[in-house]
Amino acid sequence: MAKLTEKARLTAFLGGMCLFLSAIEYLLPRPVPFMRLGLANLPVLLALGLLPFPYVMLLVLLKILGQGLISGTLASYVFLFSAAGSYTSALVMSAFNRIPRRYMSLIGVSVLGALAGNLVQLTLSVYFIFGPSASVIAPVFLTIGTVSSFLIGLFAEKFRDGSRWYASLGGL
Amino acid sequence: MKKDRIALVLSPGIRFIGGMALMLAFLFSDSLIYRLAFIPLLLTLVPLGGKRILWKNYLVLIFFITFFNLLNPWGEVLLSLGPLAITKGALTSGLLKGITFTGLILISLVSISRGLNFPGRLGGMIGRVFYYFERIFEQKHRIRKEDLIGTLDEILMEIYSESDPD
């Protein structure tokens, strides 16, 4: 393998974490097939404070490719849904992460990112799959997304504050 | 894990290209019967490729897609179930979307295999992602529920401090 810069190496490392968490999530039973907990968003949340914006976008690409490979959806609509939702979410999270920590925690960043990503996915599902009746599932979809993103944000916040590994990367 | 018999005759790259060609053929016509005709072939290829068919998931997926399409009735009324009118147009459209969605997932399962290398700089990075994934996966038994953050942190610290793989 060719040598990577430190930032590229960390991006690949976080990509490996995304893949690992995607695999864990794939094994968990889901009440409804199209609903995800979004565990793989955890490395993206952590990356916001470690990597420059273009690398965060690259990590999102690695995350959705990895999810597509693991769940077998790389050649399907799911992949496009995932890409649209993940990129929207990452853009919103990057924007809100610029607000100082005392006003905006990682929980807030995570919830706002998930809401934006889920809204884009709902809009796409209205136009391409379910039709206008997709609005019926909107409340459940958004509630699950909000609750799971709150929990992932909470974990990310605690991990960021307690992790020696995270602290060791501060000077990157 | 099931044995991957397709890998015995096709390299991962050729298999991926073949899968993409199959996808184009699948999407060639908008006819429900045409797309439905591909499903038995895909249901045969997926286990041959060493992958599991998640029957329940796919059936629930088709059911939900069709059901939500039925809520927006159009065309000839086939049956009335209380307030829900099952119309020919909505039923055909829902089934077509459900079958297309499931078919594409099955094609993806057939096309992607271990050892598939994507070319270029991004391809190299994807290789590194898989390396780190495998290293983290090897250590997953060390993760303890009662000290999730501490044990995970230890594993990440250990793997990240290893020298960069060549």
Touching check for B63 and chain A: CB below 8 Å? no
Pairwise pLDDT comparison (A37 vs A148), residue with the higher score: A148
pLDDT given at position A72? 62
On whether ipTM exceeds 0.90, the answer is no
pLDDT given at position A27? 58
Q: Is the pLDDT of residue A116 over 80?
A: yes
Q: Which residues touch A96 (CB under 8 Å, ≥6 apart)?
A: A104, A108, A109, A112, A113
User: Across residues A87-108, what is the average pLDDT?
Assistant: 94
Q: Is the pLDDT of residue A50 over 80?
A: yes
**Which tens digit of pLDDT belongs to each residue from B19-55?**
888 988 988 888 999 999 999 999 999 999 988 888 8
Touching check for B117 and chain A: CB below 8 Å? no
Q: Is A38 left (phi over 0), alpha (psi -120 to 50) or beta?
A: left
Beta bridge partners of B85: B80
- Segments of chain B with pLDDT less than 50: none
CB contact under 8 A, A72 and B140: no
Task: For residue A129, give the nearest of A77, A71, A64 by alpha carbon.
Answer: A77
Residue A26 contacts residue B150 (beta carbons within 8 Å): no
pLDDT given at position B133? 83
Of A16, A68, A168, the CB nearest to B132: A16
Q: Is the pLDDT of residue A17 over 60?
A: yes
Task: For residue A128, give the nearest of A88, A79, A87 by alpha carbon.
Answer: A79
pLDDT given at position A107? 95
Task: Please give, one letter per residue, the 3-state secondary structure of chain B.
Answer: CCCCCHHHHCCHHHHHHHHHHHHHHHHCCCCHHHHHHHHHHHHHHHHHCCCCCCHHHHHHHHHHHHHHHHCCCCCCEEEEECCEEEEHHHHHHHHHHHHHHHHHHHHHHHHCCCCCCCCHHHHHHHHHHHHHHHHHHHCHHHCCHHHHHHHHHHHHHHHHHCCCCC
CB contact under 8 A, A1 and B165: yes
User: To probe the interface with B, which of A35, A163, A168, A172 has the most B CB atoms within 10 Å?
Assistant: A163
Residue B155 contacts residue B143 (beta carbons within 8 Å): yes
Closest CA of chain A from B14, distance in Å: 15
Quickly state the pLDDT bin for A28 (edges 50, 70, 90).
Answer: low
Touching check for B37 and chain A: CB below 8 Å? no
User: To probe the interface with B, which of A20, A26, A55, A64 has the most B CB atoms within 10 Å?
Assistant: A20
N-to-C CA span, chain A: 22
> pTM for this one?
0.70
Task: Please give, one letter per residue, the 3-state secondary structure of A101-132.
Answer: CCCCCHHHHHHHHHHHHHHHHHHHHHHHCCCH
Alpha carbon A11 to its chain centroid, in Å, reads 14
Closest CA of chain B from A104, distance in Å: 22
**Which tens digit of pLDDT belongs to each residue from A71-93?**
666 667 778 888 899 999 999 99
Pairwise pLDDT comparison (A125 vs A148), residue with the higher score: A148
pLDDT given at position B38? 95
Of A19, A62, A134, the CB nearest to B125: A62
Touching check for B42 and chain A: CB below 8 Å? no
pLDDT given at position B27? 82
Closest CA of chain A from B65, distance in Å: 6
pLDDT given at position A10? 92
Closest CA of chain A from B122, distance in Å: 9
Residue B124 contacts residue A1 (beta carbons within 8 Å): yes
